[in-house]
């Protein structure tokens, strides 16, 4: 079985994922074809092999998590239909992007997958898992992707995903000289009959024709691009309006809450002079609740070199967090580092710029948090030799108090000790060949495309 | 260090990814346009796709003419966006190769830093697959160069890079993205023109060369222009839907606000 996705669709998923400060998911639209490959072997004249080719044409991103399923992973068919609408028949799979997690389907993903298979009636529904990991100093980031077909047998579950591209531009195929030939007959025949190909200027007719095709196509690309640009601006504007309205509503609610509190205070002050202390934490929590629910414009990293690390935030807002209600404080909890650790979401801070610097105010719904405890907990077992190796390294780092080590310790290890590391552990970043370990380019000589 | 971090707008990131994934057989490159903030953070708002004059392996260098053309483009972007923009860095791809810069890359980067100490380099590594786990990988890194002592070898310095979310794709990024097929075609035309000017080729060879041109252009159309057009159409469709949904939400919020007042 083979699968392909266009570079533009792939980049688009990366783009949507980078924009989301939580996990991101969506559906894969496309088609599955049967391709026949004929091979001739010594034993048979021809063996026709049927391979299934999964072509991913497009992706349909979900605006938020839990949009068609609940916390228990039960799918709401109505929501599913309202999201997919008439694209439902083109769905061949779905995808999920998560940060700092293992390359395995989580338990919830598995049960969702089973239900989707049934509801959509696609027996071989595929699941594309994107997992994102960064080095401790956020200078290098890796996006890993695996295409699963979970409905198949245990051992045959992963498919190679290719990204078709331009490949060889093969400008070397132009001939700069003709094969020498003194035969007059040859010269005469090719001149006479070859003239068909050329127009009166001596230019090959095909050149002009194909160039016209290209020009027309490029004009169309420009035209559609212009339309897309307009729609982007419209969308941006409405998004801004929506954000402003949400802020206004939040402000209103806060004012109302304050007014009510003042009213209560003045009433209570007559009977209970000490009750003021009690109202403070609740006010702080309602304040914090409102704050967290207000989605600001996409969070920009602050002007510090690295977006504020989680530890910084903890010390600043300790009082707020401790008094906040669980859902909102959970919104700030880092995602468990499932990489290497078989199921213990360590509540240590994350040093990941992407996770923290963007949308720290839990600008998207706090409901995303319940999903995090599941990640990496599902089976706990590591089917990957790479992960196992990483797990081994992770254990060594456990004692390290530095907040930035815990989640991407394997990467930090690799970077600091790159030239000395054994082959396997370095292969996460490099290509797994000895020469690739050295960051300074010895790799170049040995790598062949 | 002169630069403390790099902030890359997500739509510029999108264009870089598109470009890097466009071919696995050679390295692509481009320039980053943006501004350096007082906090020594380099903020990249857009990228310009460049033609590679020297297509030899690992010779990813920018000619002075290209730098000059890019500066002009940066000025144009400054007019459109209303903020001061200039060329602040370069990016290139490492298909099938580790993401770390080679010795040549580090030296090239050092050279650019001599003109501008805040110049940064980005590398996108793609088309990497671990055959055992069938895991594909795309990596990106940011670096500058430093010389430990005068006369010693240049070394890589890691610079933190963060992708800044941007929900809508900017005009300049869209324009950069659709430049790719045009640049590819121009490269092909230039090569063909040189070949075509050779006078001593017999008709069969000329037909052969013409066919190579046709074949290459067809390749470009099916591998780049076609998918690009498809993505643009899909994006337009997505935007239409989002606009409808956002409009609905806006009305709902207006009602909610009115009810509160």
User: For residue B43, what are the β-bridge partners?
Assistant: B7, B35
Residue A431 pairs in a beta bridge with: none
* pLDDT attached to residue A168: 63
pTM for this prediction: 0.74
The reported pLDDT for the residue numbered A282 is 45
On the question of pLDDT at A369 being above 70, the answer is no
- Among the three residues B115, B136, B164, which one is the final residue of a domain in this structure? B164
Residue A327 has pLDDT above 90, yes or no: no
What's residue A39's pLDDT? 73
Name the minimum distance, in Å, from the CA of B47 to any CA of chain A.
15
Q: Is the Cβ of A233 closer than 8 Å to some Cβ of chain B?
A: yes
pLDDT bin (cut points 50, 70, 90) of residue A189 is: very high
Residues 71-130 of A with CB under 8 A from B: 103
Per CB-CB distance under 8 Å, the chain A contacts of B224 are 166
* Secondary structure in 3-state letters for chain B: CCCCEEEEEHHHHHHHHHHHCCCCCCCCEEEEEEEECCCCEEEEEEEEECCCCCCCCCCCCCCHHHHHHHHHHHHHHHHHHCCCCEEEEEEEEEECCCCCCCHHHHHHHHHHHHHCCCCEEEEEEEEEEECCCCEEEEEEEEEEEEECCCCCCEEEEECCEEEECCCCCCHHHHHHHCHHHHHHHHHHHHHHHHHHCCCCCCHHHHHHHHHHHHHHHHHHHHHHHHHHHHHHHHHHHHHHHHHHHHHHHHHHHHHHHHHHC
- B253 with B144, same domain? no
State the Cα–Cα distance between residues B159 and B8, nearest whole angstrom: 12
Residues 119-178 of chain A with CB under 8 A from chain B are 135, 137-147, 158-161, 163-171, 173-178
Of A141, A165, A245, the CB nearest to B257: A245
Give the model confidence (pLDDT) of A387-434 as tens digits. 333 333 434 434 444 433 334 444 443 333 334 433 334 444 444 343
Joined tokens for residue A57: 């044409």
Q: What distance in Å separates residue A272's CA from the closest CA in chain B?
A: 30
Asked whether residue B217 falls in the same domain as residue B195, the answer is yes
Q: With a cut of 70, say whether residue A449 has pLDDT above it.
A: no
A217 in contact with chain B, both atoms CB, cutoff 8 A: yes
- Residue B98 CA to residue A447 CA, distance in Å, equals 9
- Pick from A176, A128, A158, A102: nearest CA to A24: A128
> Is the pLDDT assigned to residue A356 strictly greater than 60?
no
B184 → chain A, closest CA residue: A169
A39-43, A342-346, B200-204, B252-256: lowest mean pLDDT where?
Answer: A342-346
pLDDT at A379: 42
Average the pLDDT over A188-216 and give the result: 90
For residues B87 and B42, state if they share a domain.
yes
* Distance between B221 CA and the closest CA of chain A, angstroms: 7
Please tell me the distance from the alpha carbon of residue B151 to that of residue A382, in angstroms, as a whole number.
48
Q: Tokens for A246, please give them.
A: 């949400």
Of B97, B162, B238, the CB nearest to A443: B97
Of A113-122, A390-399, B48-57, B142-151, the least confident: A390-399
Residues 6+ apart with CB under 8 A from B147: B110, B153, B154, B155
* B195, pLDDT greater than 70: yes
Helix (H) or strand (E) holding A2: strand A2-5
> What confidence tier does A76 reach under pLDDT thresholds 50, 70, 90?
very high
Tell whether A247 is within 8 A of chain B (Cβ): no
Q: Which residues contact A165 (CB under 8 A, 6 or more apart)?
A: A7, B21, B22, B23, B24, B127, B223
Residue B139's closest chain A neighbor by CA? A142
Distance between CA atoms of A28 and A22, rounded to whole angstroms?
19
Instruction: Tell me: do B115 and B222 sit in the same domain.
Output: no
Residue B1 confidence class, pLDDT cut points 50, 70, 90 = low
Asked which of A116-130, A187-201, A231-245 is least confident by mean pLDDT, the reply is: A187-201
Q: Is the Cβ pair A142, B139 closer than 8 Å?
A: yes
A158 sits in which H/E element: strand A158-159
A103: nearest CA in chain B? B135
**Chain A 288-307, CB below 8 Å of chain B: which residues?**
298-301, 303-307
**Same structural domain for residues B204 and B75?**
no
* pLDDT tens track for B149-182: 888 889 999 999 999 999 899 998 999 999 999 9
* A141 secondary structure, DSSP code: E
Distance from the Cα of A371 to chain B's closest Cα (Å) equals: 22
Q: Could you say which residues from 123 to 182 on chain B have a Cβ atom under 8 Å away from some Cβ of chain A? A: 126-130, 132-143, 155-156, 158-171, 174-175, 177-178, 181-182
CA nearest to B42 within chain A: A305
Q: A221–B223: do the CB atoms touch at under 8 Å?
A: no
B205 touches chain A (CB under 8 A): yes
* Mean pLDDT of the region B45-59: 75
- Given CB atoms, is A372 within the 8 Å cutoff of chain B? no
What gap in Å lies between CA B188 and CA B184, rounded to an integer? 6
Residue A336 has a pLDDT of 38
Among candidate residues A348, A220, A405, the one with its CA nearest the CA of residue B233: A220
Domain co-membership, B12 together with B91: yes
Say how far apart CA B154 and CA B145 lie, in whole Å: 6
Which two three-digit tokens encode residue A382?
């590591």
CATH number, position B158: 3.40.140.10
Residues of chain A in contact with residue B37, where contact means CB-CB under 8 angstroms, are 303
Q: Are residues B26 and B111 in the same domain?
A: yes
Please write the tens of the pLDDT for every residue from A86-107.
Answer: 899 999 999 999 999 988 899 9
pLDDT of residue A107: 92
Q: Does A213 touch chain B (CB under 8 A)?
A: yes
Domain boundary among B149, B164, B179: B164
Domain boundary among B164, B181, B211: B164
Residue A126 pLDDT > 80, yes or no? yes
Q: State whether residue A419 sits within 8 Å of chain B by CB.
A: no
pLDDT 10s digits, B103-134: 999 999 999 999 899 999 999 999 999 988 89
Distance CA B63, CA B174 (A): 25
User: Of the candidates A10, A274, A218, which has an alpha carbon nearest to the alpha carbon of residue B14?
Assistant: A10
Averaged confidence pLDDT in chain B = 90
- Does B119 share its domain with B227? no
Residue B231 is part of which domain span? 171-259
Chain A nearest CA to B30, separation (Å): 17
| Among A65, A67, A128, residue whose Cα is nearest residue A96 | A128
The reply to whether B185 and B134 lie within a common domain is no
Domain co-membership, B127 together with B57: yes
Collapsing DSSP to helix, strand or coil, A35 comes out as strand
Question: What are the two backbone dihedrals, phi and then psi, of residue A264, each rounded to the nearest 5 degrees?
Answer: -60, -40
Does the structure show a pLDDT above 60 at A295? Answer: no
Assigned token pair, B233: 């159409």
In percent, how much of chain A has pLDDT > 90?
A: 39
Judge whether A359 is closer than 8 Å to chain B, CB to CB.
yes
Are residues B41 and B135 located together in one domain of the fold?
Answer: yes
Into how many domains does chain B fold? 2
What span, in angstroms and rounded, lies between the C-alpha atoms of B16 and B139? 12
Residue A380 has φ and ψ, to the nearest 5°, of 75, -20
- For residues B139 and B215, state if they share a domain: no
Query: Which of the residue ranges B58-62, B135-139, B215-219 would you say has the lowest mean pLDDT?
Result: B58-62
Pairing of strands A91-99, A24-39: antiparallel
Q: Any CB–CB contact under 8 A between B44 and chain A?
A: no
Q: What is the pLDDT of residues A234-292, one digit of tens each?
A: 999 999 999 999 999 999 999 999 999 999 998 887 765 554 444 444 444 444 444 44
Residue B20 reports pLDDT greater than 50: yes
What pLDDT is recorded for position A345? Answer: 38
């Amino acid at each position: 079985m083979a699968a392909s996705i266009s570079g533009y669709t792939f980049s688009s998923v990366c783009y949507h994922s980078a924009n989301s400060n939580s996990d991101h998911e969506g559906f894969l639209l496309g088609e599955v074809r049967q391709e026949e490959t004929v091979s001739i072997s010594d034993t048979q004249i021809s063996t026709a092999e049927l391979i299934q080719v999964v072509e991913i044409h497009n992706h349909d991103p979900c605006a938020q998590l839990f949009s068609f399923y609940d916390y228990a992973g039960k799918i709401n068919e109505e929501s599913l239909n309202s999201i997919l609408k008439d694209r439902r028949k083109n769905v061949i799979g779905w995808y999920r992007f998560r940060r700092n997690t293992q390359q395995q389907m989580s338990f919830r993903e598995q049960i969702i997958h089973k239900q989707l298979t049934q509801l959509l009636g696609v027996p071989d529904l595929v699941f594309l898992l994107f997992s994102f990991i960064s080095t401790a100093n956020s200078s290098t980031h890796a996006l890993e992707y695996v295409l699963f077909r979970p409905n198949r047998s245990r051992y045959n579950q992963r498919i190679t995903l290719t990204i078709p591209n331009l490949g060889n531009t093969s400008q070397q195929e132009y001939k700069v000289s003709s094969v020498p030939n003194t035969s007059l007959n040859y010269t005469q025949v090719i001149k006479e009959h070859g003239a068909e190909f050329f127009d009166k200027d001596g230019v090959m007719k095909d050149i002009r024709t194909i160039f016209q095709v290209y020009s027309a196509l490029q004009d169309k690309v420009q035209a559609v691009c212009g339309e897309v640009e307009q729609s982007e601006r419209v969308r941006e504007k409405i998004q801004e309006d929506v954000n402003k309205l949400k802020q206004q509503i939040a402000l209103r609610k806060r004012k109302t809450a304050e007014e009510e509190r003042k009213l209560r205070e003045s009433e209570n002050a007559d009977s209970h002079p000490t009750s003021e202390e009690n109202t403070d934490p609740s006010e702080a929590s309602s304040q914090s609740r409102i704050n967290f629910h207000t989605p600001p414009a996409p969070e920009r990293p602050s002007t510090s070199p690295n977006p504020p690390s989680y530890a910084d935030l903890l010390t600043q807002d300790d009082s707020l967090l401790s008094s906040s209600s669980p859902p909102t404080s959970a919104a700030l909890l880092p995602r468990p580092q499932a990489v290497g650790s078989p199921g213990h979401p360590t509540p240590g801070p994350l040093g990941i710029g992407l996770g923290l610097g963007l949308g720290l105010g839990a600008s998207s719904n706090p409901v995303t948090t319940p999903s995090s405890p599941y990640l990496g907990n599902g089976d706990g077992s590591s089917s990957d030799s790479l992960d196992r190796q990483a797990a081994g390294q992770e254990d060594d780092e456990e004692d390290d108090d530095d907040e930035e080590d815990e989640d991407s310790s394997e990467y930090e290890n690799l970077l600091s000790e790159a030239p000395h590391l054994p082959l396997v552990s370095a292969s996460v970043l490099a290509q797994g060949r000895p020469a690739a370990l050295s960051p300074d380019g010895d790799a170049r000589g040995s790598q062949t495309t | 260090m002169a630069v403390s971090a790099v902030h890359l707008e997500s739509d510029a990131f999108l264009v870089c990814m598109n470009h890097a994934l466009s071919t696995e057989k050679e390295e692509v490159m481009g320039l980053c346009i943006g501004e350096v903030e007082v906090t020594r953070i380099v903020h990249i708002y857009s990228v310009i796709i460049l033609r590679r004059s020297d297509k030899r392996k690992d010779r990813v260098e920018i000619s002075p003419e290209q730098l000059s053309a890019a500066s002009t483009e940066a000025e144009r972007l400054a007019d459109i966006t209303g903020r001061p923009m200039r060329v602040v860095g370069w990016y290139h791809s490492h298909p099938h190769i580790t993401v770390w810069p080679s010795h040549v890359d580090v030296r090239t980067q050092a050279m650019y830093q001599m003109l501008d100490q805040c110049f940064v380099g980005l590398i996108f590594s793609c088309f990497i697959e671990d055959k055992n786990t069938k895991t594909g990988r795309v990596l990106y890194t940011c670096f500058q160069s430093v010389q430990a002592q005068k006369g010693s070898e240049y070394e890589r310095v890691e610079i933190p890079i963060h992708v800044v979310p941007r929900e809508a794709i900017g005009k300049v990024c869209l324009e950069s993205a659709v430049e790719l097929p045009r640049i590819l075609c121009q490269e092909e035309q230039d090569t063909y023109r040189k070949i075509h000017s050779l006078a001593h080729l017999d008709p069969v060879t000329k037909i052969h060369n013409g066919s190579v041109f046709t074949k290459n252009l067809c390749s470009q159309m099916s591998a780049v222009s076609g998918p690009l057009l498809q993505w643009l159409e899909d994006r337009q469709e997505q935007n239409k839907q989002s606009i409808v949904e956002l409009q609905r939400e806006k009305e709902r919020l207006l009602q909610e606000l009115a009810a509160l007042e």
